[in-house]
Amino acid sequence: MGMLEGKTAIITGAGRGLGHEEALAMAREGCNLVINDLGAAFDGSGAETKVADQVAEECKKLGVKAVANYDSVTDFNKAKAMIDQAISEFGKLDILVNNAGILRDRMLFNMSEQEFDDVIAVHLKGTFNMTRHAAAYFREKGKANEALGNFGRVINTASDAGLTGNVGQTNYGAAKAGIAAFTMNAAAELKKYATVNCIVPLARTRLTTDATPQMVEIMNKLDETGLDVFNPTNVAPMVVFLASDNAKKINGEVFRVVADRVMLFQGWHTVNQIKNDHKPFTPQLIAERIRELMKGAPKKENLYALLGDLVKM
């Protein structure tokens, strides 16, 4: 019996890359699925319904029920319709995986308003839209049957661009940092009915190859044992775990997942302080003591240092 036997999940952006591998991994564990994907290019342009259809068929071949959905997560009402579709098709909803995303990379001084708005809309607003409607369902069902406990599962997707930073991605980074913060707040609000957690994948997808050609060589590297470090299949098991009943006590956490590693992130927290003996600081005194404050802070995590630790750059 699979870890997700008889459960129902929606996975957004499930047509390719991470979402595709998450869908297959969840199907292997017995989960019925709504496969959502516009079939768009990595920048959000275009649409091709067969992308979601093909993944739904793959999942069916693994012995579960699956249906396709082609709507955009940016539409509040269509997000609600997606929740309703899962309930109509399978009688319930247990799991939501927010994975849909696009890239519109640009240096800040060249970025258009539309490039900022579109990325925020898909990642951050899309995560809100889907989670908001799922949350209402989880709460309604949980209040009607308290024996269910925190039966719902929400798994969001953030990025190192938002948590450690990356050049050319102020829009994407802001959205992903927002998703991590959204996760922590939503987890506190929904803890009676659902868990809300977040993954930070490092994987080979269209967003790390097609959108950023300079990353292609790195993303295809193997480690010294021959492990395909950035294969998206490496990420999917963590999503399956977080979607399962085994994760009912894991809530509001952010995990980086790559290769053979799962890393626990800790968010903003105080790392050092200076005091002024019960008197307010003056700007001049801050200028004198700022080195003291900064000297005690740990070195910031760097994405490229992490990549170098995983594979020879």
Please write the tens of the pLDDT for every residue from 223-250.
778 888 888 999 999 999 999 999 999 9
pLDDT digits (tens, 9 = 90+) for 58-117: 999 999 999 999 999 999 999 999 999 999 999 999 999 999 999 999 999 999 999 999
Among candidate residues 70, 137, 172, 193, the one labeled active-site is: 172
Q: In the annotation, is 88 catalytic?
A: no
Among candidate residues 72, 176, 193, 244, the one labeled active-site is: 176
Question: Which domains does the chain show, CATH number per domain?
Answer: 8-268 (3.40.50.720), 270-313 (no CATH)
Among candidate residues 72, 141, 159, 244, the one labeled active-site is: 159
**Strands of the chain, DSSP E:** 8-12, 32-36, 66-69, 95-97, 152-157, 194-201, 254-258, 261-265
Q: In the annotation, is 295 catalytic?
A: no
Mean pLDDT value across residues 32-39:
94
pTM confidence score: 0.92
Cα–Cα distance measured from residue 138 to residue 152, given in angstroms and rounded to the nearest whole number: 6
Phi, psi of 202 (to 5 degrees): -115, 105
Q: In the annotation, is 159 catalytic?
A: yes
Q: First vs last Cα of the chain: how many Å apart?
A: 42
pLDDT for res 184 = 97
